[in-house]
Amino acid sequence: MRTEPRTLLAWLCNRDKLTYRRFVQEFTRHGVRIFGSSSASPTCGETQFRRWTGGQLQGLPVDEACQVLVAMWPEYTAEQLFGPPPQGDPQVPANDLEERVRMTAEDAHDAADATATASISDNTIDELRDQVTAVAQGYHLMPPAKAYEVADALRQSIERHRDRTQVPIQQQDLMSLNGKAAALLSVAAFDLGFFQPARSLARTAAVFGETTRFTPLQAYAAGTLAYIAYHTGNATEAVNKATLALSYGGLGDVAHRRLQAIKARAHAHLGDVGSARRAILLSGEDGQGQRDELHDGVGGEFAFTPERLAMSTSTTALLVGDAARAEADARRALELIGRRPPEGQSSHVRASAAADLAHARLLADDVDGAAEALNAVWTVPAEARKTGIVVRTARIARHLSQPQYHGAQLPTALREQIEEYNQVSPPHRIGPHVGLLAIEA
């Protein structure tokens, strides 16, 4: 019979499924991180582990061991770890049961499907398809680091199932799903400021689209490559990528709007005002009522909502120096997003549009109006501050550094607030800052 844990440490090991071998691996890893690879780094033998988890100690282990254990479970003190186990875990979030139920459902489904050899159940593919759709539609609610983890776990699951079937139609379906997962990973990598991995993942998505003859995925990936290109100083490549994507057949109106908006921004980066304005007009056309499976069927991050279009057009207008158009489109983006229910509102789109509105007002020398617009930017949590927001606010800070604002209290305060705001964003905190310095310049 399994005995109840006598210490919180034993209880945590049971909860986290840490056998002695896995415990030692984690203990050693944290020890090296704290003390380095030296004799000062503590070790833990199996007998010692049994004493720790069995409540057989009088007092606490040596300080070094306690430091490592606290690093493994930072929410607890050493005294708590060697004290009695709790009746419940106060650190488990309220939605832990939901996560546990989801994992149980996945494990049970995998176990049922494991009987197949040369094929997998079509229900399994339907389940994976639903999961891809859920990630795409819930992307705007997740911090980019979390979105990356979720999409990568899904990609790995799809890969495992590809290895288990030799049925051509199932392979086709799984490759298409893998391409969609790669496309979401590319967006998340870009939002974190990892431009080269984002580019590689977008190319991976494009390959899967080409292999499966799924042109909407090819077009989406090419559009992503286009905006990565102009963010990294390759606006000509961006125009070429967007133009190529527009030549693919089988695209719906949403796909065309997205690609024309990207193309408009690329022309603006090149200083081609006429071409940028023509692309803006094309992006705003009603279309022919055409739909496709990716941009419309899956939607979410693959869609291109009216407020996102308005926000993108505002940014393009700023690049070509049309402050009035930029302000009008930013206001429209904010109005459109305000009409959606809270769960359908993207904090990234709202903050980006608000930053564009602030920038447009600064171009009209309305510093007070810019400060008011930036209030919507400050509300975005640090972990949700994506590359687009960081780039926009950095441009505002650069504008506020001009000589006419030197010594002025409000412009100086706004510039300093932006610098502090961006320093704790994922692109600055965990992303490759060198790339950001280039596009913020």
The answer to whether residues 151 and 188 touch, using CB atoms and an 8 Å cutoff, is yes
Q: At what angle do helices 96-113 and 122-138 cross, to 10 degrees?
A: 150
Task: Give domain status of residue 115, yes or no.
Answer: no
Claim to verify: residue 319 and residue 416 sit in the same structural domain: yes
pLDDT, one tens digit per residue, over 222-267 is 999 999 999 999 999 999 999 999 999 999 999 999 999 999 999 9
The predicted structure's pLDDT at residue 435: 43
288 with 368, same domain?
no
Residue 318: name the closest of 279, 355, 281, 263 by CA.
355
Closest CA to 151 of 181, 177, 131, 126: 181
Are both 27 and 132 inside the same structural domain? no
Question: What's the domain range around 423?
Answer: 305-441
Beta-carbon-side half-sphere exposure of residue 411 (alpha carbons within 13 Å): 20
Per-residue pLDDT at 3: 61
Q: Is 88 within a domain?
A: no
Q: DSSP letters along 134-162, please?
A: HHHHHGGGS-HHHHHHHHHHHHHHHHHHH
One domain for residues 293 and 327: no
Q: What number of other Cβ atoms are within 10 A of residue 310's Cβ?
A: 24
Element (H, E) at 352: helix 347-363
In a domain, 89, yes or no: no
Residue type at position 384 = A
- C-alpha–C-alpha distance, residues 261 and 305, integer Å: 12
Count: domains in the chain: 3
Structure confidence at residue 440 (pLDDT): 38
Last residue of a domain, one of 81, 113, 131: 81
pLDDT at 105: 61
Q: What pLDDT, on the 0 to 100 scale, is given for residue 301?
A: 97
Are 282 and 148 found together in one domain? Answer: yes
Assess if residue 31 is contained within a domain.
Answer: yes
DSSP 17-39: T--HHHHHHHHHHHHHHHH-SST
Q: Are 6 and 86 in contact (CB under 8 A)?
A: no
CATH for 390: 1.25.40
Structure confidence at residue 337 (pLDDT): 97
Residues 310 and 435 in one domain: yes
Question: Which pLDDT score, from 0 to 100, does residue 34 have?
Answer: 81
Given a cut of 50, the residues of the chain with pLDDT beneath it are 1-2, 89-95, 115-117, 433-441
Report the CATH number at residue 200.
Answer: 1.25.40.10
- For residue 296, give the DSSP letter: I
Q: Which two tokens stand for residue 172?
A: 């086709």
The string of pLDDT tens digits covering residues 324-369 is: 999 999 999 999 999 999 999 999 999 999 999 999 999 999 999 9
Same domain, 418 and 433: yes
Q: Give Cα 266 to chain centroid, integer Å.
A: 23
> Which SS3 state, helix, strand or coil, does residue 119 take?
coil
Angle (CA) 64-66-72 rounded to 5° is 110
CB 152 within 8 A of CB 185: yes
Residues 6+ apart with CB under 8 A from 137: 298, 299, 300, 301
- Quick one: CA torsion of 50, 53, 57, 63, rounded to 10 degrees? 100
Task: Establish if 61 belongs to a structural domain.
Answer: yes
Which among 54, 81, 108 is the end of a domain? 81
Q: Tell whether 339 is covered by a domain.
A: yes
CA 24 remoteness from chain centre? 32
Do both 281 and 354 map to the same domain? no
- Shared domain check, 324 and 284: no
According to the model, what pLDDT value does residue 96 have? 52
By the 8 A CB rule, do 82 and 9 touch? yes
Does residue 386 sit in the same domain as residue 276? Answer: no
Looking at the structure, tell me whether residues 284 and 346 fall in a common domain: no
> Does one domain contain both 437 and 342?
yes
| Domain contains 99 | no
- At residue 94, the pLDDT reads 42
**Cβ–Cβ < 8 Å for 276, 314:** no
**Within-domain flag for 327:** yes
- Domain end: 287, 303, 319, which one? 303
